[in-house]
Amino acid sequence: MRTRFKSDIPSSEITSKELFLSRRDFIKTAGFMGMGALLAACAPSGGGGTIPANEVPGEAGAGPLDVLNSFEDITNYNNYYEFSTDKTAVNALSKDFVARPWTVEVGGLVNKPKTYDVDELIKKFQPEERIYRMRCVEAWSMVIPWNGFSLSKLLNEVEPTSKAKYVSFESLYDTQRYPGQKSPFYPWPYHEGLRLDEAMNDLAILATGVYGEPLPNPNGAPIRLVTPWKYGIKSIKGVIKIELVEEQPATLWNSIGPNEYGFYCNVNPNVSHPRWTQSSERRIGELARRPTLMFNGYEEQVAHLYAGMDLKKNY
């Protein structure tokens, strides 16, 4: 079932890849025509009348259009170091991964710790579609229609105690099933963490599907975190453990490169990575780079979480 959220990219800003490409080609080939008239002529029904100029990439007005990436894009260009550091090899290497049975242990500073079977979670929390931008710290991005449920639903169920300040996440450790975990260069298993108020924000979901299909192996089957205002690094795949803790938890990338990857990893065009700019990004499927948006475009929903914080220090 499709539920629209304020947090979603508005439907007026999303179009199918096919429609987008044909519209763009049409506009390019008809370049001599008045842009306003042309845009109005192409307006989709129910999208609020005319298409704003910023929906046309590379045209006057900037602020480019968001277009859903295809299932092929989403499942063939993946960071999943448990399988490989080669993004284009993950799909083939994860083909035989069997993501069932699978349990998620939720515990630590909670009143009601519980280990859930993943299918019990799916049945209980009824995933809905959430279309989010996904911005990798490496400065590429996609738009992905996830199926998932708010992490807050699960956290409320186990009742964090007043001592709980952070949430720590852990991925599966299994060198038989994850060939990449034989690499000695990474402190396996993958760990991530959020402040409790970040974790309770409605945008943070546990995703169990993409395009209405069960979560594909390259995307972290059977269950992964998605925090769309943060770099993709935080969206930990193959989650087996969620622990409420008092102190800020260690994360894999922060422990390897503390100067390059902080705890927060909020998308921020004004704070560059030491080795590359974060002010623009390459949307998979597009040629021209596009400007990176503050908090990946989710400022309205999350900026209050960081009020008064120096985001250059807390990167």
259: helix, strand or coil = coil
Structure tokens at 35: 């842009």
Residue owning tokens 């859930």: 116
How far from 208 is each of 90, 142, 212, 242, 309, CA to CA, in Å? 18, 18, 9, 16, 33
Nearest distance in Å: CB 145, ligand MTE: 12
Nearest distance in Å: CB 60, ligand MTE: 31
Residues in region 25-44 near ligand MTE by CB under 6 A: none
Structure tokens at 54: 């910023």
Closest CB to ligand MTE belongs to which residue? 232
219 binds ligand MTE (CB under 6 A): yes
Nearest distance in Å: CB 237, ligand MTE: 4
How far from 90 is each of 80, 106, 110, 162, 260, CA to CA, in Å? 7, 28, 36, 41, 24
Nearest distance in Å: CB 299, ligand MTE: 20
C-alpha 233, offset from chain centre: 9
171 binds ligand MTE (CB under 6 A): yes
Give the nearer residue to ligand MTE in terms of CB position, either 78 or 168: 78
Nearest distance in Å: CB 243, ligand MTE: 16
Give the nearer residue to ligand MTE in terms of CB position, either 51 or 83: 83
Give the nearer residue to ligand MTE in terms of CB position, either 222 or 232: 232
C-alpha 62, offset from chain centre: 24
Contacts to ligand MTE by CB under 6 A: 78-82, 134, 136, 171, 190, 219, 232-233, 235-238
